[in-house]
Structure 1
Amino acid sequence: MYSTPDPHSITRLNARKRPAAALAAGVLALALLLLVAAQLHHAWSSYEARLAETRSATSNMARALAAQGEGSIRIVDTVLASVVERIENDPGGATSARLRGYLMDTVRTVPELHGLFVYGPDGSWIVSSLATPIQGNNSDREYFQHHLKNTDGRVHIGAPVKSKSTGVWILPVSRRLENADGSFAGVVLGTMRVDFFAELYDSFDVGQSGVIFLTLDDGTLVYRRPFNATLPGTKLNGPVFKLYRENGPVGSAMLRSKIDQVERLYSYRHLDTFPLIVGSAQSKDEILAEWYRSTGALAVGSLAAILFIGWLGKRLVGQIVLRDRLEHELSLAGTTLEAKNAELRTLASVDSLTGLANRRTLDAVLARELSRARRSGAPLSLIIVDVDYFKKFNDRYGHVAGDECLRMVGSLLLASLGRPADVAARYGGEEFAVLLPDTRKDGAIKIAERMRAGLVELGIDHADNPQGVVTLSGGVYTFDAARDASLTREGLIARADQRLYAAKQGGRNRIATDLTFPAEGPA
Structure 2
Amino acid sequence: MNNTLPAHGRLRCKDSFCTSLVVGVILVNLFAYLMVGNSLYNSRKHYDKLAEVSTQNLAKSLEGNFSDILDKLNIVLFSVGEEAERQLAAHGIDRGSLSAYAKQQVQILPEADKIAITDRAGNVLCGSDSTTEAVNISDRPYFSRLRDNADRQLVVSPLLKGKVTGQWKVIAARRYDNADGSFAGVVIGTIDVAYFDKLLSHLDIGKYGAVGVRDADFKLVALHPKGKEPASRIGSDVVSQKTRAMIQANPVTASYKTVFARDNKERMVTFRKAAKYPYYIFATISPVDYMTSWRKEALVGVVLLLLFSAMTAASARFLYKSKASALLHAEAQRYGDEMRQQNEELNAALARIKRLEGIISICSYCKKIRTEQQSWEQLEKYLSEHSDAMFSHGICPDCADEQQRLFREVALSHKDCTNSH
Tell me which interval the TM-score lies in, with the shorter structure as reference length: 0.5 to 0.7
Following superposition, the deviation at residue 129 of structure 1 comes to 0.6
Q: 1:198 to 1:121 in 2, by over 3 A?
A: same
Work out the percentage of aligned pairs sharing the same amino acid. 24
* Letter paired with 1:78: I
Unpaired segments ≥5 residues, structure 1 = 1-13, 321-523
Aligned 1:487-502 pairs, distance under 5 A:
none
Higher helix proportion? 2
Unpaired segments ≥5 residues, structure 2 = 1-8, 324-421
Worse-matched range after superposition: 15-24 or 232-241: 15-24
* Letter paired with 1:235: D
Q: 1:255 to 1:189 in 2, by over 3 A?
A: same
Aligned 1:440-519 pairs, distance under 5 A:
none
Q: TM-score, normalised by structure 2?
A: 0.66
Equivalent-residue separation in structure 2 for 1:49 and 1:27 (angstroms): 33
Following superposition, the deviation at residue 254 of structure 1 comes to 1.0
The one-character-per-residue Cα deviations of 1:123-166 (angstroms, maximum 9, x if unpaired) are: 11112111343222122233223323443322111122232344
The one-character-per-residue Cα deviations of 1:400-444 (angstroms, maximum 9, x if unpaired) are: xxxxxxxxxxxxxxxxxxxxxxxxxxxxxxxxxxxxxxxxxxxxx
Give the secondary structure class of the aligned counterpart of 2:61.
Answer: helix
Report the counterpart of residue 124 of structure 1 in structure 2: 123
Aligned 1:222-301 pairs, distance under 5 A:
222-227=221-226, 231-238=233-240, 239-258=242-261, 261-301=264-304
Report the counterpart of residue 26 of structure 2 in structure 1: 29
Following superposition, the deviation at residue 318 of structure 1 comes to 6.7
1:305 to 303, 308, 330: 308
Following superposition, the deviation at residue 114 of structure 1 comes to 0.4
Q: 1:121 to 1:66 in 2, by over 3 A?
A: same
Following superposition, the deviation at residue 265 of structure 1 comes to 1.0
Kept in 2: contact 1:86–1:93 (CA 8 A)? no
* Letter paired with 1:233: G
Q: TM-score, normalised by structure 1?
A: 0.54
Following superposition, the deviation at residue 297 of structure 1 comes to 4.8
Kept in 1: contact 2:114–2:191 (CA 8 A)? yes
The one-character-per-residue Cα deviations of 1:299-352 (angstroms, maximum 9, x if unpaired) are: 2442232022122034336768xxxxxxxxxxxxxxxxxxxxxxxxxxxxxxxx
Give the secondary structure class of the aligned counterpart of 1:131.
Answer: coil
Report the counterpart of residue 405 of structure 2 in structure 1: none
Following superposition, the deviation at residue 20 of structure 1 comes to 6.9
Aligned length: 311
Report the counterpart of residue 134 of structure 1 in structure 2: 133
Give the secondary structure class of the aligned counterpart of 2:202.
Answer: coil
Kept in 1: contact 2:208–2:288 (CA 8 A)? no
Equivalent-residue separation in structure 1 for 2:156 and 2:235 (angstroms): 12
Following superposition, the deviation at residue 290 of structure 1 comes to 4.7
Equivalent-residue separation in structure 2 for 1:304 and 1:93 (angstroms): 88
Give the secondary structure class of the aligned counterpart of 2:203.
Answer: coil
Report the counterpart of residue 147 of structure 2 in structure 1: 148
Give the secondary structure class of the aligned counterpart of 1:151.
Answer: coil
Report the counterpart of residue 214 of structure 2 in structure 1: 215
Following superposition, the deviation at residue 212 of structure 1 comes to 0.9
2:35 to 32, 38, 41: 38
Kept in 1: contact 2:81–2:187 (CA 8 A)? yes
Q: 1:79 to 1:168 in 2, by over 3 A?
A: same
Kept in 2: contact 1:21–1:318 (CA 8 A)? no
Equivalent-residue separation in structure 1 for 2:44 and 2:132 (angstroms): 59
* Letter paired with 1:279: F
Give the secondary structure class of the aligned counterpart of 2:176.
Answer: strand
Following superposition, the deviation at residue 214 of structure 1 comes to 0.9
Equivalent-residue separation in structure 2 for 1:59 and 1:203 (angstroms): 18
Kept in 1: contact 2:212–2:224 (CA 8 A)? yes
Equivalent-residue separation in structure 1 for 2:164 and 2:93 (angstroms): 19
* Letter paired with 1:131: S
Equivalent-residue separation in structure 2 for 1:268 and 1:125 (angstroms): 36
* Letter paired with 2:288: D
Question: Runs ≥4 in structure 1, deviation > 6 angstroms?
Answer: 14-18
Following superposition, the deviation at residue 17 of structure 1 comes to 6.7
Report the counterpart of residue 315 of structure 1 in structure 2: 318
Equivalent-residue separation in structure 2 for 1:260 and 1:94 (angstroms): 54
Equivalent-residue separation in structure 2 for 1:207 and 1:259 (angstroms): 16
